[in-house]
Amino acid sequence: MEKVGRVTLVVQATRPWLAVQGLACVLASEGEKPRLAQAVLAAYRSQHKLGSMLYEYAAAIWESHPIMEIPARYCAERVDPADFPGWLGWSLEFFSGPALQNPHVDVTFQLDVTQAWARYQRLSRQDPPPPSFFSFLVWNLAQTLARHPSFNLRRIDDDWYLLRNPPIFIPVAVGGDARFQSLVLDDAYRQDLATFSACYRDRLAQARSPGGGPSAASDTFVYAHFMGNLPNLRFTGLTLHWRPDQMVGQSFFYFGQRYTDGDRMLIPMSVRLHHSCTDAVVLDQLIEDFKRQFAEDGSASY
C-alpha cells in the first residue's frame, strides 16, 4: 500500500483493472476530483497503460494535495482512535468517514458574562488595557481550551492528531471589496494576557491596514480554532459552513452583541462542534470551566 498525497493507492500488479477501478472509487468517495477519476478509467480502457498512468496521476495528486507537514509550533502528537476508550474510540472514525453525513452539532445559547465584564472593566484601568472585551474573551477561552483535549483533536491526511498549541483564526471585517482579512494568533495557550494582548493588537492593526497584512496560509484552517465576533447582532441561532476536506475536528466559536438582563450581562455564543471528538457533554464542561476563569478565586492568571 502506497500513500500518495491524500489518496491511498492499492496497486495490484496481477489485477491491474481492479487497481484502477479501486482508485477511481476512492477518488470519487473522498471528493478528490471525480472527473479525473472518470478519466483514469477512460485512459485505462483506451490505452491500457496502467503503470505510467498511475504514476503520472499520483504526481498530479501530490502537487495539488501534498501531505501536510504540521508546523512544529503546534506541538502535534499523532493518536490512534483505537487507543481511546469508550465514545472517542468509536466516534473519531464514524463521524469522519467517507459516508455522506453532517458531522456537526450546532449550539447557540446566551452566555452569562457578568463576572467576565467586571474583571475586564478592572483590567481596562491598567496600562495598557486589553484591546477589547472580545480579545479578553478569546484569551480566556484559549486558556480554557488548553485544558480540554477533545477540542484539540484534528484529522489531517487521514490521521488523527492532538495539537497541544493550535493557532487561533479570527476573521476581521474590513469592508470594501476585500470584506474580510485574516487574523492568526500563535502560542495563545502559552501566553499571559499582556503578551497575548500585544500580539492581538499588532495583528489587528495589520489586518486593518491598507495592505491587509500577510494572508493566512491555506492549511491554517486545518489546525486552528475559529473564533468570530458579531458585535452588532444579538443572534439566537447561527449555522456555519464547512469544508469536509479541510475542517475535520475543529470547533467554531462566535460571540454576538452583549446586552443586559436585570443585573446580568449576557452575550450570544454560537458553537459548532465536530461530533467526531466533541459533543454537548464536553461543551458543557468547557463552558463551566470558561466561567471559572473570571471568578475571583478562578484559574486565570492576569
Neighbours of 95 (CB within 10 A): 21
Contact 61, 4 (CB under 8 A): yes
The CATH-assigned architecture of domain 72-292 is 2-Layer Sandwich (3.30)
Q: Is 108 helix (H, G, I), strand (E, B) or coil?
A: strand
Q: Given CA atoms 204, 208, 214, 217 in this order, what sign does their dihedral have? A: positive
Query: How many residues are recorded in the chain?
Result: 302
Q: Boundaries of CATH 3.30.559.10 in the chain?
A: 72-292
Contact 275, 103 (CB under 8 A): yes
Please list the pLDDT of the chain residue by residue as tens digits (302 residues).
344 444 444 333 334 444 555 555 555 444 455 455 555 555 555 555 555 555 455 445 545 545 568 889 999 999 999 999 899 999 999 988 877 678 999 999 999 999 999 999 999 998 888 999 999 999 999 999 999 999 999 998 889 999 999 999 999 998 888 888 999 999 999 999 999 999 999 999 999 998 877 777 777 888 999 999 999 999 999 888 777 666 688 899 999 999 999 999 999 999 999 999 999 999 999 999 999 999 866 556 66
Per-residue exposure over 103-126, b if at least 16 CB sit within 10 Å of its own CB, e if not: bbbebbeebbbbbbbebbeeeeee
Model pTM score? 0.77
